Amino acid sequence: MMRPESSIAGEPLAPAGAGQPPVFSVLGVKAHAIKMTAAVRAFDHAIGNNLKVYAHALGVAGVMEGWRNPRLRMILNRSYLNTPDGMPLVWLARYFGHRDTERVYGPDLLREVCRYSLRKGWRHFFFGASPGVAPLLRERVEVQFPGIQVVGTYTPPFRTMTDLELAELIRLVDDAQPDIFWISLSTPHQLYFMFDQFEHIHAKVMCAVGFAFDVNAGLKKDAPAWIKQMGLQWLHRLVRDPRLWRRYLRDNPLFLGLIALQLLRLRRYALSPDAQVPITSASDKAELLSSRTRADSRSLPSTARVNVLGIGIDPVNMKSAVEELISAALAGRKGYVCVTGVHGVMESQQDEQLRQIHNRSLLTVPDGMPLVWEGRWRGFSKMRRVYGPDLMLNILERTARQNHAQRTDSAPTPRLPLRHFFCGATPDILQRLVVNLQRRFPGLCVVGCYAPPFRPLNADEEADLARQVAACQPDFFWVGLSTPKQERFMARYLPLLDVKIMLGVGAAFDLHAGLRADAPGWAKKTGLQWLHRLLQEPRRLWRRYLWIVPTFLWRIVLQHFGLMKYSLDGRGAAGRRENINRKGTG
């Protein structure tokens, strides 16, 4: 229910320079203990002091996305204002002693700021929502608030904006010179857009308000006031839009469990000191990114990896993995690629050296649906399975196509073809593998094969392998051994061999040589490929899966709830359990 005008416009404002409202931590995400009048004062303070800031109407969905994704948490924690747009956040604020906190609902915030702007002459720009919504919202607020200055609207496409589209938007905003740039996209997309375009959109306040455009344009019916007050608006939205069931089924129970751990002080979610210092200029953002770049350069692996029981999994899909590896080979980079599933993760729980091998790779890709589900749970929505045999085929096909194109290229100095070397299996399997692949991919450049003995190489064998590799200098060196033998092999021999990219692809050699049938597509997609393999080789694999499957599920649950912590650095035992700090506060 909209507040009466006197509660906002009639209340005197705090003087310019007034301090920020108190903050509290919700699972490590900053929220402001605030009510509507103070939220409008915060807008007035930013615009009156010519700051450049961003703000967000924060609900449970935003908290959970921030809890999963460190980058999004950083964006939220450097925000100028995160209003409590959800009764669970209001109840938490009051529990922590901020008794005056009220819900600052996104659609209400937009209306109240528009109302107050009549006194100040603020200029508004509406960006987002579906086609036609922003212009309709403009008409509605101009009727509701005569004299309001809405200086522009823009409806983005339902995809990532191209550089030309962004340039056009920036030009429109530059011409309009708004004080407030309102954003109505879904979470987390609106937060990423707001942060990424912060220095390019020339407005004093950028504010993300979710579906507030649809509500205020009259296109979506708002929940009754009693439902909002009881914290049941999510149920009202679910009834009206059943497509949201996955989000609520996933987020709501987990949020309650994690909050219980925080309140019982079994898990600490403290805010970092810089969460009290919001970004108030483009130079602040540049300094923040520079400091994070310096910090990331001192650590392995990148903070963009998904921490799965202490193993850093790159949140890639097949297309992005192939692109990155082809680019790395063409640029002359040197590194190894771990194609890792649950088996590799669990082997690393008992072997610190193996854990470090995974975490120091050029890429560690998710070869298993449980790792993909974990990454997507953490907010990496584009993460997909990168199955080792399929990764091999994709890279072989791409390089064969490039090599074929170069043969017909009329350039005076064509680039050398991308070369492949296969190491593993037996001489007979390697011969069949190469014949099959060259028949399938005309133009494929295979420069060598090596069938190692079923034991560690001795000094003479190592020297012989090094001579073979030095003579052909492959770009891609494929290793077809079992886990963890292939990971150890790559870590040991990458510095000793004249290769660029080493990839451990396990059973891919047998599959592509035609010696073993692959699992059906449904088994791969549902995470049941382990069961297909168990039925094929029950005597060899039953002990492995009897230990791996339940132990992995148990440890992932403990990691999710913060009862077991894992580090991605090179120190300590694999998957070591850190003592839980029981001094946590709200």
More confident residue, 535 or 275: 535
Q: Please, what is the average pLDDT of the chain?
A: 85
C-alpha to C-alpha distance for 112 and 2, rounded to whole angstroms: 8
pLDDT at 394: 96
For 48-105, the pLDDT digits (tens) are 999 999 999 999 999 998 988 888 899 999 999 999 999 999 999 999 999 999 999 9
In this model, does residue 221 exceed pLDDT 90? Answer: no
Q: Per-residue confidence at 3, pLDDT binned at 50, 70, 90?
A: very low
- pTM score, whole prediction: 0.59
Q: Per-residue confidence at 227, pLDDT binned at 50, 70, 90?
A: confident
Q: Per-residue confidence at 526, pLDDT binned at 50, 70, 90?
A: confident
In this model, does residue 8 exceed pLDDT 70? Answer: no
Lowest mean pLDDT among 195-204, 270-279, 333-342: 270-279
pLDDT at 266: 82
The rounded percent of the chain whose pLDDT value lies above 90 is 61
Mean pLDDT over residues 319-324, rounded? 93
Q: Per-residue confidence at 376, pLDDT binned at 50, 70, 90?
A: confident
Q: Cβ contacts of residue 572 below 8 Å, gap of 6+?
A: 352
pLDDT at 555: 92
For 535-551, the pLDDT digits (tens) are 888 888 788 888 888 99
More confident residue, 267 or 437: 437
More confident residue, 74 or 529: 74
Q: In the numeric block, which tokens belong to residue 586?
A: 């709200």
pLDDT at 578: 33
pLDDT at 85: 94
Count other Cβ atoms within 10 Å, centred on residue 408.
7
Q: Per-residue confidence at 293, pLDDT binned at 50, 70, 90?
A: very low
Q: Per-residue confidence at 516, pLDDT binned at 50, 70, 90?
A: confident
Count other Cβ atoms within 10 Å, centred on residue 234.
21
C-alpha to C-alpha distance for 36 and 32, rounded to whole angstroms: 11
Count other Cβ atoms within 10 Å, centred on residue 537.
11
Q: Per-residue confidence at 290, pLDDT binned at 50, 70, 90?
A: low
Lowest mean pLDDT among 117-131, 275-289, 488-502, 568-582: 568-582
3-class DSSP state for residue 24? strand
pLDDT at 572: 32
In this model, does residue 410 exceed pLDDT 80? Answer: no
Please report how the helices 233-240 and 245-263 are oriented relative to each other, as an axis angle in degrees rounded to 10. Answer: 160
Domain ranges of the chain: 5-283, 306-409+417-512, 521-556
pLDDT at 19: 53
560-563 long-range Cβ contacts below 8 angstroms, 24+ apart: 560/254, 561/257, 561/258, 561/261, 561/267, 562/258, 562/261, 562/266, 562/267, 563/261, 563/266, 563/267
pLDDT at 14: 35
The rounded percent of the chain whose pLDDT value lies above 70 is 88
C-alpha to C-alpha distance for 542 and 544, rounded to whole angstroms: 5
pLDDT at 415: 60
427-433 long-range Cβ contacts below 8 angstroms, 24+ apart: 427/451, 429/509, 429/510, 429/513, 429/515, 430/509, 430/513, 432/513, 432/514, 432/515, 433/509, 433/512, 433/513
For 242-267, the pLDDT digits (tens) are 888 877 888 889 999 999 989 988 88
In this model, does residue 6 exceed pLDDT 60? Answer: no
DSSP letter string, 259-318? HHHHHTTSS--PPPGGGGS---SHHHHHHHHHHHHHHHHTSSS-TTSEEETTEEE----H
pLDDT at 547: 87
For 125-166, the pLDDT digits (tens) are 999 999 999 999 999 999 999 999 999 999 999 888 888 999
In this model, does residue 486 exceed pLDDT 90? Answer: yes
In this model, does residue 571 exceed pLDDT 50? Answer: no
For 18-54, the pLDDT digits (tens) are 456 899 999 999 999 999 999 999 999 999 999 999 9
